Amino acid sequence: MKIAIVGATGLVGTNIINLCEQYFDVDVEYSLFASKSSEGKKITVNDKEIIVKELNKENIEEYNISLFSAGGERSKDYAPNFIDNGSFVIDNSSVFRMNDEVPLVVYGINENIITKESKLISNPNCTTMGLVMVLKPLHDKYTLSSMTPVAYQAVSGSGSEAIKSLEKETLLGDKLDAKYQQAYYSNPIARNVIPLAGSLTDNGYSDEEMKFVHESRKILSIPDLVVEPSNARVGVRTGHGTFCSAVFENEVDLEECTDLLNNFEGVEVWNDSLPTPIDVEGKDEVLVSRLRQGLSSKNILNFWVVSDNLLKGAALNAVQIAKFVEKL
């Protein structure tokens, strides 16, 4: 089998390589692609050195599966070429997610919608992914009607330059103030919370907030789901956390909710301690805590969920999908 990894030198691409080593046989042939600046770099996969190629149409060959994590424009420009050469493409960008004919897949929730004809498969937004892993078993039992998620997104969701900015700002210590001009974001992020993640859209919500709306509806197959989202960027390296108030058509039972979540593969409920981004960094599981029945209605469940945005929020889900596709 031949696997191509596009964006192999990035944060998500590096994690994809590591996970492929765990999920696939050692005899898989890998081709690694990145930008011109990374051409010629050597990356070791299964104890073999592989030279990174520049992503261009002349370098594209036949692959069984291609995993893309190189941004929307590169996905738009090159994914069709990989598909034309016979490959399944699993894309981590947002560019194809809302296309009706493209499956938007969270492994563990709806991977069975993938068929041999599903040559292009989209990976959802990293924050949405952690949240729907919790909502799916609850929806199946109680029927979800609306939700109000408030997300606190780590800087690694913006890439390596954002991480470098956080590290540089942290080193400044008390010298860092609101007037600092060399930040990656609109404001300094170290020791700070910026009440915006992503870019503002015409309706005043950010694109990250609107992903909560559209992607949750598609993944959970609830086209009329009411979503009132808010997202902030926080001075944390890795791990997106979300407080969510979910309203169901039926009364929720806390003990039953805990059992439903603990029995759902990929989710853990922490009752005795509070899971934080530090706890979840490097973990495959989505962690949940602070389950509370609503104060105004027994049909409301309030909870906290946190997940590694580079793993289940991106690379892990992509590789889990790839493993599923291998068996088709």
Q: Can you say whether the dihedral through the CA atoms of 203, 314, 71, 98 is positive or negative?
A: negative
List, by residue number, the catalytic residues. Answer: 126, 240
CB 291 within 8 A of CB 256: no
For residues 44 and 110, give the distance between their C-alpha atoms in angstroms, rounded to a whole number.
33
| Residue type present at position 276 | T
3-state secondary structure the chain: CEEEEECCCCHHHHHHHHHHHHHCCCCCEEEEEECHHHCCCEEEECCEEEECEECCHHHCCCCCEEEECCCHHHHHHHHHHHHHCCCEEEECCCCCCCCCCCCECCCCCCHHHCCCCCCEEECCCHHHHHHHHHHHHHHHHHCEEEEEEEEEECHHHHCHHHHHHHHHHHHCHHHCCCCCCCCCCCCCCCCCEECCCCCECCCCCEHHHHHHHHHHHHHHCCCCCEECCEEEEECCCCCEEEEEEEEECCCCCHHHHHHHHHCCCCEEECCCCCCCHHHHCCCCCEEEEEEEECCCCCCEEEEEEEECCCHHHHHHHHHHHHHHHHCC
Residues 6+ apart with CB under 8 A from 327: none
The residues that bridge with 273 in the sheet, in sequence order, are none
